[in-house]
Amino acid sequence: MIELDLQIASTADALPSHADFLAWCNLALRQRSNASELTIRLVDAEEGLQLNSTWRAKDYPTNVLSFPADIPDGLLDIPFLGDLVICVPVVEKEAAKQNKQLAAHWAHLVIHGCLHLLGYDHINDIEAEEMENLERQLLAEIGYPDPYRDNQYTDLIQP
């Protein structure tokens, strides 16, 4: 079971529902046998820029930032996985620029971020291939196309 704290710090009007976010998280995290808690914070470009600058030394907002929990065993009695921060205007611009259905792009980025919380990464080609293949499989299960099909994945859309 997933407990999701959805924080909306964006002024955007049309956002996926809490149920959508929860379904995407459950799909990505189903390989875990125990309960999990995570936070997803939806932000606008200003906060996205500030966080990406602080944590990645990048001077632009990015689509999703993942902050895996680094809590010593026994300190908390909750199964906290970590936090995802998703920059709403970046998601919208990427979907439009890459000609993707907005809901499919949202699903992809939530799944992508959750996999990071589980320890998946794309630093080298082997890890990237494993992570991307899992993303493709999970998205196909819910009827969305391969997000890597026509373009190289990018986490950079500058305003």
Domain count, the chain: 1
pLDDT, average across residues 7-34:
92
Any domain includes 100: yes
**Angle formed by the axes of helices 88-97 and 45-56, nearest 10°:** 100
Higher local confidence (pLDDT), 49 or 33: 49
Q: Identify the CATH number of the domain in which residue 8 sits.
A: 3.40.390.30
- Output the six-digit token pair for 17: 């529902």
Residue 116 within any structural domain of the chain: yes
110: in domain = yes
Q: Is residue 72 part of a domain?
A: yes
The answer to whether residue 18 is domain-embedded is: yes
**Look-up of token digits 């990018």:** 154
- For the stretch 112-149, pLDDT in tens is 999 999 989 888 889 889 999 999 999 999 999 999 98
Tell me if 15 is assigned to some domain.
yes
Please report whether residue 158 resides in a domain. no
How confident is residue 150, by pLDDT bands cut at 50, 70 and 90?
low
**137 within some domain:** yes
Is pLDDT above 90 for 151?
no
Q: What is the pTM of this model?
A: 0.89
